[in-house]
Structures are given as C-alpha cells and as structure tokens.
C-alpha cells in the first residue's frame, strides 16, 4: 500500500472510531480493603514461590485497585506493581480477535472467509480453513510440538520481519482433523490472524492495534514484545532448575507469534481493555455480542490415538465463556517466558480482574478467588 493510501485508510479508521458510541464512566469506589488483597497475594506468593504478582481490578468503568507484591525483576530487585510490563502470552489472542472483529464491523472481513484469501502462502489443505475455524480452535492446525524450533531452540531466537517466514516451520504439516469437527488449541493457527489484519487493512499489525485498540482504550503500556526495545517497567519471567532454584528463562524472540502470544501489557492496561469492551469503546454492542456468542457449548478436544476429551468451558471467538457464582465470565489465560496471566471480564457486573505472576504457577485458582471477593462485596450490577 502506498503512503497516500495508508494515510487515507488511517483517516477513515480514525473517523470511524470517533463516531463510535462510548458509555460515560461514572465514579466507583472500592468495596474491598486493599490490605486484604495484599495479604492474599503475599500468601499466594509464599505458597507458590513466585517472585512477584501484580493484580488490578476495575468496577463501574474505572480501576479501583492496582497492587503488586514481591519483585518484578530479581537482579535489580525491582518491586512488582500494577504498572509492571510483562509478556501476556495467549491473552494476546484476545487483542487480536478484537482487531478482527473491528474489520468485520467495517465490512472488510467475513468470519467465513478462507484464511488463504489473506495468507496465500499458506498451503492448500485437505479441507478449507476459515477465519472462524481459527478463532474457535477448530482449524485442525497443530499447536507446538517438541523439537520444532530446532537444535537449542534456535528458531525461537530468530527475529522475523515477515509472517510468511515465521509460519514456515509448521505450515506444511497435515491437519490433525477436518476443520470444524473437533477442538484443538493452536497458537500457530492464531498467528495467521496477523495476515488477516494486515491484508484487509493495509496497515501493519502493531500500528493497527495501536490505532484501533490500545490508544482508544488508554492502553499506553501495551505493545509488541520486541526484545531489543527499551521498555520502561519491564519485568522478567522465571523458572526453576532441577534443584528448585529460580533462574532467568531462556531467551525467546516472540516475533513468530505476535497474535498468538507475543504482546506486552500490564494488569492495569488489561483492565482498561476490559472496560472498553464492556462499555462499547472498541466495538459496537452487536459486534461484541457476535464475538462472545458461544460457538461450541460442549468442547470436545482432539487427542491423538485417544477418544476426544470434554472440556469445562464454552468456546466463543477466542474467548472462553464460563460461570462464576452465577455471573457470566468471559476469560482467557496466557503462559510464556516464565509468566502466567489471567484476564477475567464480568459483563453483567461491569467488572474486570487481571493478574500476572512472573513464574510458571497456576494462577487460575487465585484469580477466581479474587474475583469472588469483589463479586461478593463489590458494586451492584449496572
């Protein structure tokens, strides 16, 4: 796309964004004592051995709590806060799907479009693969497998400037099953969403997200995870050696998976993202409803040489739909480079809970417990 066409398209997107309806944000006061949350997080950190944990909660359209315990980075002993920047892993997929739905809203993309319309370098398979197949993890494209990044995982350390090169190591593999028949989580498939956004919009993936999601939502600390960039308040993820001692995780350049798991953010920014979704600041209500409509009520997971396994959630477009204490829960988690992230959105309570720990611990139970605390004592439904 020429610079003039890019300028025109950018102006068109800005104009479309400016005409979107956003619900005014009233004041909201925290109904849970921050000290109580801090004690809970300290207990969690002591029990799990996580170096640091960050949490933010929003209610009624504004962030009512932002806390951090422990250390975001051990070598310089930097405290963890709500503004600590980490790679959010597969929560990146939720940002990518909102980008896709923005293009659907603008009439530039259809969910039943074949993926090869936007990524012609992806080979013809035994069955056609649509965007919706990718967004529901029913494409049949495989997830990661041992050894695929080569000796010493060198492929993970390479920086890719073209998605076509980044998908080369899996694109020729056969499908696991006929698309639409079973569920199998696949970050590789979701990485192809970058091609959809760039081809349909004519704008680079990061620029598109910045214009359409991050800036409108006020997510000023969110970006791609580019290792050589200087990022203020960047934390580190950790794992443990065979003796149980903490160590830095191995070097990874996430340029091969920006859409699937290569974005940086903070718990505060993730709350802002949830606020903008709840209040119509990113998508029209009908588009959000389309995104969150359940496609698979009974999720049957593909398992090689075994019977399919049922899962305990419903699958919308990328998002998982569950219930927590009688409230609809829209959520997703992420794990990468020694960090674990959870994002919980409660549309009926206008509430968001985000948690990031810089260790490979199970963060789902703690996030549920925190959400229950705020659901029980928080504001009444809007």
Q: What is the pLDDT of residues 25-70, one digit of tens each?
A: 443 444 688 888 999 999 999 999 999 999 999 999 999 999 999 9
What local confidence, expressed as pLDDT, does residue 377 receive? 74
What local confidence, expressed as pLDDT, does residue 25 receive? 41
Residues 6+ apart with CB under 8 A from 81: 54, 66, 67, 68, 72, 233
Residues 6+ apart with CB under 8 A from 307: none
Q: What is the rounded distance in angstroms from the CA atom of residue 156 to the CA atom of residue 227?
A: 12
Largest CA distance in the chain: 58
> Tokens at residue 220, please?
């000023």
What local confidence, expressed as pLDDT, does residue 249 receive? 94
Long-range pairs for 296-300 at CB < 8 Å and ≥24 separation?
296/136, 296/138, 296/183, 299/183, 300/182, 300/183
Q: What is the pLDDT of residues 114-173, one digit of tens each?
A: 999 999 999 999 999 999 999 999 999 999 999 898 888 888 999 999 999 999 999 999
Domains of the chain with bracketed CATH: 28-52+60-84+360-382 (no CATH), 88-263+285-331 (3.40.710.10)
What local confidence, expressed as pLDDT, does residue 17 receive? 44
Mean pLDDT of the chain: 91
What local confidence, expressed as pLDDT, does residue 10 receive? 53
Q: What is the rounded distance in angstroms from the CA atom of residue 123 to the CA atom of residue 357?
A: 38
Mean pLDDT by 10 residues, the chain (382 residues): 50 46 42 85 93 96 96 97 98 98 98 98 97 98 92 90 95 97 98 98 98 98 96 96 93 96 98 97 98 96 93 96 96 96 97 96 94 78 38
Cα distances from 262 to residues 89, 138, 226, 229, 265, in angstroms, run 6, 22, 8, 14, 10
N-term to C-term CA, the chain = 44
What local confidence, expressed as pLDDT, does residue 191 receive? 98
What local confidence, expressed as pLDDT, does residue 34 receive? 84
């Amino acid at each position: 796309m020429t610079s003039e066409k890019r300028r025109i398209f950018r102006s068109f997107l800005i104009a479309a964004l400016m005409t979107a309806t956003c619900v005014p944000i009233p004041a909201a006061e925290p109904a849970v004592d921050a000290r109580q949350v801090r004690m809970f997080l300290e207990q969690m950190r002591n029990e799990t051995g996580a170096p640091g944990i960050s949490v933010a909660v929003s209610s009624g359209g504004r962030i009512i709590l932002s806390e951090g315990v422990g250390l975001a980075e051990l070598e310089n002993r930097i405290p963890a806060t709500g503004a600590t920047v980490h790679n959010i892993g597969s929560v990146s997929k939720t940002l990518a799907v909102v980008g896709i739905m923005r293009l659907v809203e603008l009439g530039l993309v259809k969910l039943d479009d074949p993926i090869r319309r936007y990524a012609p370098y992806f080979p013809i398979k035994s069955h056609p693969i649509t965007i919706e197949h990718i967004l529901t993890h029913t494409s049949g494209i495989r997830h990661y497998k041992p050894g695929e990044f080569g000796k010493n995982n060198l492929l993970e350390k390479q920086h890719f400037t073209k998605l076509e090169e980044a998908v080369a190591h899996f694109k020729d593999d056969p499908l696991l099953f006929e698309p639409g028949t079973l569920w199998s989580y696949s970050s590789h498939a979701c990485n192809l969403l970058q091609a959809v956004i760039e081809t349909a919009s004519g704008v680079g993936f990061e620029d598109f997200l910045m214009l359409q999601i991050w800036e409108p939502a006020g997510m000023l600390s969110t970006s791609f995870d580019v290792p050589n960039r200087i990022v203020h308040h960047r934390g580190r993820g950790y794992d443990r050696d065979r003796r149980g001692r903490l160590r830095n995780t191995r070097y990874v350049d996430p340029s091969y998976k920006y859409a699937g798991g290569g974005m940086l953010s903070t718990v505060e920014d993730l709350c802002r993202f949830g606020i903008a979704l709840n209040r119509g600041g990113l998508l029209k209500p009908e588009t959000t409803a389309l995104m969150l409509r359940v496609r698979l009520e009974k999720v049957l997971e593909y398992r090689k040489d075994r019977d399919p396994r049922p899962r305990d959630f419903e699958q919308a477009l990328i998002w998982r739909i569950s219930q927590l204490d009688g409230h609809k829960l829209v959520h997703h988690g992420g794990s990468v480079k020694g960090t674990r992230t959870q994002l919980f959105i409660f549309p009926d309570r206008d509430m968001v809970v985000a948690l990031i720990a810089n260790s490979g611990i199970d963060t789902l139970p703690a996030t549920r417990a925190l959400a229950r605390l705020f659901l029980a004592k928080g504001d009444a439904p809007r």
